[in-house]
Each structure stands twice: as C-alpha cells, then as structure tokens.
Amino acid sequence: MARSFSVKRQTGFTTIAMICFFLLYLPIAVLVVYAFNAGESLANWEGLSLRWFDRAFNNAQVIDASIRSLQIATIAAVVATIAATMAALATTRTPAYRGLTMKYAFINAPLMVPEIVTAVALLILFSRIKIWTGYTGLGYLIAAHTAFCVPFAYLPIRARLENMDLTLERAAADLYATPLKTFRYVTFPLLWPGILAGLMLAFVISLDDVVITEFVKSAGEDTLPTYMLGQIRRAITPEMNAISTVFFVLSVAAVTVFFFVNKKRG
C-alpha cells in the first residue's frame, strides 16, 4: 500500500528547515546580545553591561511612548476581539445564503489591502474629521488600530467556531435555553481559547504597527515603534536593542502563559 505524502519525508527537509530557523532567529539573537554591550557600537563587543536598559528605563520619552502603546493596543485589542466575536458568530451560526462569502471578504479586507493604502485612506478621513470637530486625541489611533485588528482576531475565533461540535448548543436549545444563556454557558466556554488567541494576536499587531500609526497620529502621540523609528533615523544605539529586548521577552512570556493556560483547559 502506498504511503500518504508527507513533506517531512522529503530529502533535505530537515536541513532546509534548520537553515530557515537559523536565518529567522539569528538577527533576534544578535539584537538581544548587543543590548548588553557596554559600548555604543552595534558591531564591536566592549563588555557586558546593563547601561542601555538603565538608560531606556530612565528615558521619559520611552516610558511615555511605551505607556501610550500599551493603552492603544489594549483598548484596540479588546474592542476588535468583541467585534470579531460577534462577526464570527453571525457568519458561522447561520445557514449559508447569498452574500455570505462577500461578508467574509469584507471583514478580511484589511488583510488583502496594502497597509499603506489603509493608512492613506485613514489619514484623509481623519484629517476632515479633525477639521470638523477640532479633536486631535488618541481616539483616532484607537479607532484605526481597532479596524485594522478586527480580521486578525476574527480568523482564529471563526476557526474555533467552525471546529466546534454543535451537539451541546442544540441540546441547550432543546432544553429551552435562550440564545444568550446558550452562548454564556455553552458556546463561550468552548470558544474561549479562540477568543484568547484572537485577543493576543490583535494586541501584538496593534503594539507593533508603524505604518498606520505614522500616518494617523497627531503631534506628541508617538507610540514606541514610531519613537524607535524616529531615533533610528538620527542615530542607532544599543538603547534600541534594550527596548526591543524587553518587548521581545514580554511577547514570549505572553505566548508562554497562553500556551499553558490553553493546555490546562484542554
């Protein structure tokens, strides 16, 4: 009997995979190592030191930009996840009908449209609103990030819903449970891992965004990525490595916590 095809059995698969992982993680490793460099060079190792971490933690602009980034990412991720959950329920817990595929495409449009196009469109729209209202606060960045993050939260939530067994939901309906109670006591607990995955993905996407933020933000509203971009244009120091290392560790910690929580619930 012929064996089913598996890419893992192809000649050279392991070697190519190892090379890809090496090229992917080598720049990150170099960044982390030189964050502890005592000198100001990014190419010459001058000893071990925490001076750049201390400098970053005592930099008022870095602290201000970091807090602003976390605020925007948290609010945008929560709102985007709520919207994505409702959209996923509306597009999966319904019989197929004409126009449903178009709704999928509409929700996922930000994934297909180049980010620079979205950024320019939002710049034009928000510039008119700023003139009409006079408001120039963080609301524009939060709205832009939320709209951009919705499809990133939508995909894992929809995938979770499509793979869920409908037996329990139907049983709840047979026992006269209202749609709200069915969602609260049956659907939501089963859907929670997908919601958490969508929330984390939306948070990371918002935290990391540069293009849309650069176009939409007003004066004095730098997020950490745009602040780092501005600093790199002037002079590159290991302080940028230290900031990147801290956020890299936080990202790894968040993913690790999610993995163990999801494993425990499974």
**Does the residue 54 lie in any domain?**
no
pLDDT digits (tens, 9 = 90+) for 143-153: 999 999 999 99
Q: Average pLDDT for residues 229-253, to the nearest whole number?
A: 82
Confidence of residue 1 (pLDDT cuts 50, 70, 90): very low
**Does the residue 172 lie in any domain?**
yes
Cβ–Cβ under 8 Å, residues 81 and 202:
yes
Q: Give the whole-angstrom CA distance, residue 246 versus residue 35.
A: 10
Q: Phi/psi at 48 (nearest 5 deg)? A: -90, 130
**Does the residue 56 lie in any domain?**
no
Q: Average pLDDT for residues 152-165, to the nearest whole number?
A: 87
**Does the residue 34 lie in any domain?**
no
**Does the residue 223 lie in any domain?**
yes
Q: Give the whole-angstrom CA distance, residue 97 versus residue 235.
A: 56
Strand partners, 37: 48
Terminal C-alpha separation, the chain = 35
Q: How many CA atoms lie within 13 A of 60 on its CB side?
A: 1
One-character DSSP codes across 200-252:
HHHHHHHHH--HHHHHH--TT---HHHHHHHHHHH---HHHHHHHHHHHHHHH
**Does the residue 108 lie in any domain?**
yes
pLDDT digits (tens, 9 = 90+) for 27-82: 888 888 888 888 887 778 888 888 888 888 888 888 898 889 999 999 999 999 99
Tell me what the pLDDT averaged over the chain comes to.
84
Cβ–Cβ under 8 Å, residues 182 and 173:
yes
One-character DSSP codes across 88-142:
HHHHHSS---TTHHHHHHHHTHHHHS-HHHHHHHHHHHHHHHHHHH---STHHHH
Q: Which of 16-30, 60-74, 252-266 has the lowest mean pLDDT?
A: 252-266
**Which residue, chain included where needed, has tokens 């995938």?**
159
Split into its structural domains, the chain has a count of 1
**Does the residue 245 lie in any domain?**
yes
**Does the residue 26 lie in any domain?**
no
CATH number for 101: 1.10.3720.10
Range of the domain at 152: 67-265
Longest dimension (CA), the chain: 73
Tokens representing 191 are 């859907």
